[in-house]
Structure 1
Amino acid sequence: MKNFVFRARPLCLAAASCALVSQTSSALAQVPAFELEPVTVTGSGAPRSLGSEIAATSVLTRGDIERAGARDAVSVLNLLGTGLVEQQGGTGTLASVRIRGADTRDTLVLVDGVPLTDLTSGQALIQQIPADIIERVEVVRGNLSALYGANATGGVVQIFTRRGSAGGFTPQVSAGIGSRNTRSLAASVGAGSQTWGLRVGAGTERTDGFSAGNTVNANPDNDGNKRRYATVAADAQLAAGHSLGLDLRQIDGTVRYDSPQFGMPTDTHEEHMVQTGAALRGSHALSKEWTLGWRVGDSRDKRTNTEVSQFGGVRHNMTRNALRVVELAGAVAKGLVARAAVERLEQSTDSALHSRQRRDTDVLRSGINYDAEWGSLQANLRRDKTSDFGDATTWLLGGSFNLVSGLSLIGSASTSFTPPTFDFLFFDCGSFPCSNPDLRPEKARNIEAGLQWQDERTLLRATLFGARYRDKIANDANFVPQNIGRAKNQGLELSARHALGPWTLLAEATFQDPKDVDKDERLLRRTRQQVALRADYQQARWHAGAGLRTIGDRRDTTATLGSYSIVDASAHWILTNDWTLSAVVDNLFDRHYQPTIGYNGRPRTVFVGVSWSPKR
């Protein structure tokens, strides 16, 4: 993979820009066009246009990502007002996602259909995923355990990587420089026809960063990050009704970070993570109505943490998710599609701190989707049989009803489960107990109802939701985890996607009341309100846009973090048919904020880039 990776060098962007401006040929915008109804697959398991699915779904397309100038998966998800991203410092530091006030381990993250779940913590490591490899992101809010099983109680984030197209040979090179000695270089080449497609990409980025921690115990030095990555995506239409797809990726990242709650200001921490993924899939038409699909996937995170301190050392941990799926789907009657699947998920860790290191889950699942002029129905049933805590059955039932032209009523009810992590079950503390192998999965019941308005320029949705959790895992008086907790959440989500002439608008907001039922107080690290707005204006040769992100206060164990609002801005200029200049300013007004207690948010950052992609 290293042969595909380029090492960044300071670039003479000013000289390049002068040479480019001298050319005045007309060109269309290189940023992909705004999509009002992009394709989604996560909420139902089948391709549907946004607005036709029952699940509350947000989609960020390649065009959305490029217009905003997002540089990694964390920045991409920060475009949403229905998912809270918590990051412990700057680029490359640990990040997690909360949806609808659920725990971070209740958000399932998939890349090209394969889970990223860390078996030990239950979280997904998204912080080193560069935006350059992302084609689109689908975020389904609310429980999808009946489709995806464990860790899908709060919602599902699915990242799809970029692919080749039928447009022939399409090379692209981009480079940029920015604040805190940030520099990047990326290159890709795509090719394809009506029957095959190929894209190979690679890149590198590094930054000196800023101090991640903000307590007296945190080392005040800058915590920089560097990453290199390479991807391969291939698709082939072998014959009519028979196709194959291949996805490969490797991300090699090294980040310095702080541990502000523990340690001394002279301590240093560094994590080297190599994240790899591979997925091979196929689809085969058995008849005019029935299709057999399959997927074999593997994702691995290999981490080495080096701590220089009085009690420091080197720790290694490799986690793996290996997925195998076979699914049969077909039309049973007019408008009625049925599907059934078998799955096996093998998860493991090589951590010597855990007395067990592997979990296997065998799955049977089924579902139906019915579409008619009056609306649609969806039903799913899933049975998970797991090696360490037994069985779990979940279901989902939902539907939509068309009230008048463009206006529909949508609702669903479902059950879910989140398994205990290996930290809860099998962590070895030596002479005293700090884990509990008898823990049961946390379970929940979820319900939601919404109104949606859709026409040729606008998609609006308002969703009321509620969830009740039982068997929540919490420490007892001896600091041993037990199934003793209860929690609930209810709230309102608003989302909009709008196009009018040269203007496009993305808007989302969440208003909720996440509560610890036993203590009758707000759950830790949850916000009651969150809003994200993004407006863009595009002309033939330039584009400008800005976004506002507002996060409400969050209560933690030792303090309440204040609310904050961040404004970002971006612009693109088409210099010639082949060259584009871009500029992005994150945190335009340089607001100081804490995304997580003890950690600094990203200060104002300016990034300027240039890209070359020849047009025929």
Structure 2
Amino acid sequence: MSLQSLSFQVLAQSGQDNTTMDPIVVTATLGPKTVGESLSSVTVIEEEEIRRQQPKEFREVIESQPGVSVVGNGSYGKQTSVFLRGNASDASILLVDGIRIRSATVGGPAWQYLPPQLVNRVEIVRGSRSSLYGADAVGGVVQAFTTPTRQGTQGWVEAGAGNFDSQQYGAGVSSVEGGSRVNVGVNHFQTDGAPVVRGGDDKGYDNTSGVASASHEFSNGVRAGFTFLGAEGRTEYEGGEEDFRFQTAGVNLEVPVTSHWRAAVQFSDARDELEDFSSFPGRFN
């Protein structure tokens, strides 16, 4: 199902630094390295590119990247599989701000429920990272970041509408000043969809999501913060419908041990809950 829409964005920002540098990535080595230093096949998708695409689903952000194949089992909100370098879908890991997303149903993460409107940066590492992330990282790792990346304070408001009675609206504000980072945003997307079979009813989808994060680096080098992302809604298919809940939450602390060694710890919780209403109902989490 294609979606033709008319949307507008309003951005307000101050103190933006437009200096372009070699991107620093953390997914490939679990530490900050430039793309060249990581010695890995890494693609970085920055916030400007994501906003330019205006994606409705996260798969739209990554499906055009080299070495990435995405297969959707239907329109919006339906099961999505991601294959990195031809490996099986359950051999690709999804991280959100360092928190791993697992699944109690199909064996792979619920890519279809992650709201791209609240993502500020994506890192794609192609090739095995099993030594860092375990046996299910044979294909590679995709990490989405919700923390702000640009200096200064900025806000955004977005609204759009299109065919199939589709609507999207959201707003947020973020600030990066010195050692402090704050980000808050909400988004809602819904569509009536279209019939799956001839003469059938429309099969819709709605996703209401929010994000909040904050961190601060103290003068002694200690950094503390928290992050939260949540999405919930409903997706309909021929023969039933599903209520879903997609959520990540975590607190983290990073302490400098020496000038070349920093120790970090994170306590996190990830939820992929699904309640099915069909001829064979069930609840999975």
Please give the TM-score of this superposition, normalised by the length of structure 1.
0.42
User: Which residue does 1:286 correspond to in 2?
Assistant: 257
**Mapped partners of 1:277, 1:93: distance in 2:** 20
User: Which residue does 1:37 correspond to in 2?
Assistant: 22
Cα shift readout 1:182-213 (whole Å, capped 9, x = no counterpart): 1111011223421312111111110112345x
Cα shift readout 1:17-66 (whole Å, capped 9, x = no counterpart): 9xx9xxxxxx99xxx97967322111111112223321111111111112
The answer as to whether partners of 1:164 and 1:190 remain within 8 angstroms in 2 is: no
User: Which residue does 2:272 correspond to in 1?
Assistant: 301
**Mapped partners of 2:194, 2:36: distance in 1:** 41
Tell me, what secondary structure is at the counterpart of 1:105?
helix
The answer as to whether partners of 2:182 and 2:213 remain within 8 angstroms in 1 is: yes
Matched length: 277
The answer as to whether partners of 1:242 and 1:282 remain within 8 angstroms in 2 is: yes
User: Which residue does 2:181 correspond to in 1?
Assistant: 197
2:123 partner letter? E
User: Which residue does 1:251 correspond to in 2?
Assistant: 231
User: Which residue does 1:429 correspond to in 2?
Assistant: none
Counterpart selection for 2:205 from 222, 225, 249: 225
| Structure 1 unmatched runs, 5+ | 1-11, 21-26, 259-267, 319-616
List aligned pairs for 1:385-396, cutoff 5 A: none
**Mapped partners of 2:74, 2:139: distance in 1:** 24
User: Which residue does 1:185 correspond to in 2?
Assistant: 169
The answer as to whether partners of 1:34 and 1:63 remain within 8 angstroms in 2 is: no
1:185 partner letter? Y
Residue 277, structure 1, aligned to residue 262, structure 2? no
Structure 1 residue 134 displacement after superposition? 0.7
**Mapped partners of 1:117, 1:91: distance in 2:** 20
**Mapped partners of 1:81, 1:211: distance in 2:** 33
Cα shift readout 1:333-376 (whole Å, capped 9, x = no counterpart): xxxxxxxxxxxxxxxxxxxxxxxxxxxxxxxxxxxxxxxxxxxx
Residue 316, structure 1, aligned to residue 279, structure 2? no
Residue 241, structure 1, aligned to residue 191, structure 2? no
**Mapped partners of 1:210, 1:43: distance in 2:** 40
Distance 1:36 1:193, change over 3 A: closer
Residue 54, structure 1, aligned to residue 39, structure 2? yes
Tell me, what secondary structure is at the counterpart of 1:147?
helix
Structure 1 residue 123 displacement after superposition? 0.4
**Mapped partners of 1:289, 1:44: distance in 2:** 15
List aligned pairs for 1:154-553, cutoff 5 A: 154-163=139-148, 166-168=151-153, 170-212=154-196, 220-258=200-238, 268-307=239-278, 312-318=279-285
Tell me, what secondary structure is at the counterpart of 1:173?
strand
The answer as to whether partners of 1:122 and 1:151 remain within 8 angstroms in 2 is: no
2:194 partner letter? F
Structure 1 residue 165 displacement after superposition? 5.5
The answer as to whether partners of 1:164 and 1:191 remain within 8 angstroms in 2 is: no
**Mapped partners of 1:235, 1:33: distance in 2:** 22
Tell me, what secondary structure is at the counterpart of 1:189?
strand
**Mapped partners of 1:33, 1:313: distance in 2:** 54
Residue 128, structure 1, aligned to residue 113, structure 2? yes
Tell me, what secondary structure is at the counterpart of 1:127?
helix
Structure 1 residue 175 displacement after superposition? 0.8
**Mapped partners of 2:19, 2:158: distance in 1:** 21
The answer as to whether partners of 2:105 and 2:284 remain within 8 angstroms in 1 is: no
Structure 1 residue 305 displacement after superposition? 0.8
Tell me, what secondary structure is at the counterpart of 2:247?
strand
Higher-Rg structure is 1
Structure 1 residue 93 displacement after superposition? 0.9
Cα shift readout 1:565-595 (whole Å, capped 9, x = no counterpart): xxxxxxxxxxxxxxxxxxxxxxxxxxxxxxx
**Mapped partners of 2:195, 2:21: distance in 1:** 40
Structure 1 residue 115 displacement after superposition? 1.2
The answer as to whether partners of 1:33 and 1:63 remain within 8 angstroms in 2 is: no
The answer as to whether partners of 1:164 and 1:199 remain within 8 angstroms in 2 is: no
The answer as to whether partners of 2:104 and 2:272 remain within 8 angstroms in 1 is: no
The answer as to whether partners of 1:164 and 1:233 remain within 8 angstroms in 2 is: no
Distance 1:283 1:134, change over 3 A: same
| Structure 2 unmatched runs, 5+ | 1-5
Residue 138, structure 1, aligned to residue 138, structure 2? no
1:315 partner letter? G
The answer as to whether partners of 1:164 and 1:198 remain within 8 angstroms in 2 is: no
Distance 1:40 1:144, change over 3 A: same
List aligned pairs for 1:8-27, cutoff 5 A: none
**Mapped partners of 1:83, 1:61: distance in 2:** 17
Q: RMSD across aligned C-alpha pairs, in angstroms?
A: 2.8
Tell me, what secondary structure is at the counterpart of 2:218?
strand
**Mapped partners of 2:52, 2:159: distance in 1:** 16
1:269 partner letter? G
Distance 1:165 1:57, change over 3 A: closer
Please give the TM-score of this superposition, normalised by the length of structure 2.
0.88
**Mapped partners of 1:223, 1:158: distance in 2:** 30
Distance 1:155 1:176, change over 3 A: same
The answer as to whether partners of 2:118 and 2:187 remain within 8 angstroms in 1 is: no
